[in-house]
Structure 1
Amino acid sequence: MKNFLIYTAKILALVILIAIALDGLYTYIFMQSKNRGKIETAFNSSAQKYDVVILGSSRANNHFVAQMFEDKGLKAFNYGMSGGHLFEASLMLKLMIERKYTIKNVILEADLNLSNDHMAEGISALFLPYIHNSEVIKDHFSDQENFSELYYIPFYRYIKYETKIGFREAFFTAVHKKTNKLDNLGYYPLEKHKNGNMKNNIVNLNPLPHNKYYEEIKSICKSNNINFIAIMTPMCENVVGMNYFEKVKKAYPEIHNYENVVIEDKYFSSCGHMTDSGARLFTKRVLKDFFNK
């Protein structure tokens, strides 16, 4: 029995050592990444200067044409993340502040995601390689149920979110394989598809009366003298429950309602996402209304 316990202890010790080694290796790889995605690029950068930073979900990523801001003399980047929630948008802004970014204006796509204050696991996982190297990332995750496992158990986060930050992603990062996430200054243009879903029902959607992460973004902007511009972006003609946007305006009167700036289906790839031509019409209006451009 004694020999069995000793053998078991040795195996356990070996597993722990391997986990620590792999954790260190994966983290080192991600710490060198600058060309695969928006999160690692922000983490591994310092002291950037922007006139306009765009935050939000895919409805930011696909709706704000960053190059059009640049063409008007405004240094801009679209940090919208498809699939992301306000949890990730807030953390991205915190990370930029931690990295000493100078930002004049933040445009936040704030509409459908006001209905929840959950993290989007697939996107939030991309911050986790840096949880031991950034206080703001650590603090942002600290009130999540599985924080202790993610923070204290070596290699656990890489196993749990293997499809996002596991071997495949680590390998492609190590060999410096680029993605298209940083193309077009972060903006991702969409095309018109004949099979695109042009119907949507948001009748049961309600904005939270106090969305924690929206309020965080607003507070960060105020404390860092950043002009905060919150915008509801367009949806197609066939949405059921469009009074959701009126509910948002009532709960958050400072958010600008632009949901009807572009409405024709020909400008939409799907009901909630405009094509490139629609995004350009929308961005043109934003430039005119908020920047006199």
Structure 2
Amino acid sequence: MNKDNLSYILKLTLLVVSITYALDKAVYFGLETLNKNVYTGASGGKVNQFLKEKDNLDFIVLGSSRANHHIDNIKISKKSFNMGLDGTKIAFSATLLKTLPLNKEQIILLHISPKYSLDSNYKGDDIAGLSKLYHQNNTIKNEYNTLGKNKIMNQIFWSLNFNGTVMGLFKNYFSPNYDINTYFGYDPIYITDEQKRIFKTVLENKVNEPCSNELKLNPIYEQYLDEISLFCKENNKKLILFTAPIYQDNCKDDDYILSNLLSQKNIEYWNMTTFFNNNNSLDYWRDNSHLSNTGAEIFTDSIKSKLNKLK
């Protein structure tokens, strides 16, 4: 290959890379503008609403679907938001907690799962749910980098951070399915008679799994627990961890281990897995770990009562 051909290839490559880079940034800033105007939906709108309102809240619920569907927060405080989101774990919730205002009195109710907190395979991948805010929010960026989730291609091509969420953003921009002025984050589950029948069949055929032989607090979980505990203590916030009811909890070892560890760390923890054990009506449940709206309202009343006793 002569020098002229090599020079041509290098110039062409540079041109293609430059155009690709420029197009990526154009697409990214277009999506960023779109995202800033979306306040509904799990693809990013709910997080946007939370970040918009967080400084004015006095009660916040964080966690997975078992926070989202189980705590009717507006019954506890009119200045509240339930930032529970399906499929998320400690990295997602702890990162959002760290965005809260400094030195402002707030109550944080964070759901934690004994099973997942002792899972040695957990790597904090759920923080990917905040990826589209990587270049917009320094707290999220720092947490992303600390977990080592800042892939080189995402650093170069920013629009990749919107992968898997674009259709949801467009849908919620042009056709939001609720009014954010009357939405406070809680998403109740309404069940049908058919769903109750299916759950009953599942219970009748359920095979109990033995407890794991290796029950040790995941280091990422422990790091986040220590960090958010310190953050709350330094910024006038009351942190309460809780575990929502489970219909049949066949392994209690993880509950005991987590309870003891949190007690040693002086972190308040309410393990309420057996809350419905004396009255386990199927009307209260969608499945083994999710309450129906009926069960959630009863559970919320209990949480409210426990919070009132702290005052």
TM-score bucket of the superposed structures, by smaller chain: 0.7 to 0.9
Aligned counterpart in structure 1 of residue 273 of structure 2, from 259, 274, 278? 259
How large is the Cα RMSD of the aligned pairs?
Answer: 2.7
Structure-1 residue corresponding to 2:215: 206
Counterpart of 1:93, as a letter, is L
Question: 1: CA distance between counterparts of 2:123 and 2:179?
Answer: 23
**Of 1-10 and 269-278, the range deviating more from structure 2:** 1-10
Contact 2:232 2:239 in 1 (8 A): yes
Contact 2:25 2:159 in 1 (8 A): no
Q: SS at 1:126's partner residue?
A: helix
Structure-2 residue corresponding to 1:284: 301
Tell me how far 1:242 sits from its aligned partner: 2.6
Could you say if the C-alpha distance between residues 217 and 130 of structure 1 is closer, same or farther in structure 2, counting changes exceeding 3 Å?
same
Contact 1:149 1:156 in 2 (8 A): no
Question: 2: CA distance between counterparts of 1:30 and 1:242?
Answer: 42
Tell me how far 1:206 sits from its aligned partner: 3.5
String of CA shifts for 1:63-115, please: whole Å, max 9, x gaps.
Answer: 11113214xxx532211111100100101112233xx6945211111233322
1:145 aligns with 2:154: no
Question: 2: CA distance between counterparts of 1:101 and 1:40?
Answer: 22
- Count the aligned residue pairs: 279
Q: SS at 1:96's partner residue?
A: coil
Give % identity.
Answer: 19
Question: 1: CA distance between counterparts of 2:218 and 2:148?
Answer: 23
Contact 1:54 1:80 in 2 (8 A): yes
Aligned counterpart in structure 2 of residue 227 of structure 1, from 229, 233, 238? 238
1:126 aligns with 2:129: yes
Tell me how far 1:156 sits from its aligned partner: 5.0
Could you say if the C-alpha distance between residues 258 and 174 of structure 1 is closer, same or farther in structure 2, counting changes exceeding 3 Å?
closer
Give 1 or 2 for the bigger CA radius of gyration. 2
1:241 aligns with 2:251: yes
Contact 1:51 1:105 in 2 (8 A): yes
Aligned counterpart in structure 1 of residue 74 of structure 2, from 44, 67, 70? 67
Tell me how far 1:179 sits from its aligned partner: 4.2
Contact 1:50 1:103 in 2 (8 A): no
Residues 147-226 of structure 1 correspond to what in structure 2 (within 5 A)?
Answer: 147-149=150-152, 152-155=155-158, 157-158=160-161, 162-163=163-164, 165-166=165-166, 168-175=167-174, 177-179=175-177, 184-192=183-191, 193=195, 194-196=197-199, 197-198=202-203, 199=206, 201=209, 203-204=211-212, 206=215, 208=217, 211-226=222-237
Residues 49-60 of structure 1 correspond to what in structure 2 (within 5 A)?
Answer: 49-60=56-67
Question: 2: CA distance between counterparts of 1:120 and 1:178?
Answer: 28
Counterpart of 1:229, as a letter, is I
Contact 1:38 1:181 in 2 (8 A): no
Structure-2 residue corresponding to 1:39: 47
Contact 2:104 2:236 in 1 (8 A): no
Question: 2: CA distance between counterparts of 1:146 and 1:257?
Answer: 31
Q: SS at 1:107's partner residue?
A: strand
TM-score, normalisation: structure 2: 0.79
Q: Give the structure with the higher percent helix.
A: 2
Could you say if the C-alpha distance between residues 42 and 51 of structure 1 is closer, same or farther in structure 2, counting changes exceeding 3 Å?
closer
Could you say if the C-alpha distance between residues 251 and 138 of structure 1 is closer, same or farther in structure 2, counting changes exceeding 3 Å?
same
Question: 2: CA distance between counterparts of 1:287 and 1:42?
Answer: 21
Question: 2: CA distance between counterparts of 1:244 and 1:189?
Answer: 28
Contact 2:64 2:88 in 1 (8 A): yes
String of CA shifts for 1:141-187, please: whole Å, max 9, x gaps.
Answer: 012334142652123533xx622x23x13423543x32469675211
Question: 1: CA distance between counterparts of 2:291 and 2:210?
Answer: 17
Counterpart of 1:106, as a letter, is I
Question: 2: CA distance between counterparts of 1:233 and 1:170?
Answer: 30
Counterpart of 1:94, as a letter, is K
Aligned counterpart in structure 1 of residue 112 of structure 2, from 110, 113, 116? 110
Contact 2:243 2:273 in 1 (8 A): yes
Q: Where does the alignment leave 5 or more consecutive residues of structure 2 unmatched?
A: none
1:95 aligns with 2:99: yes
Q: SS at 2:58's partner residue?
A: strand
Question: 2: CA distance between counterparts of 1:190 and 1:173?
Answer: 21
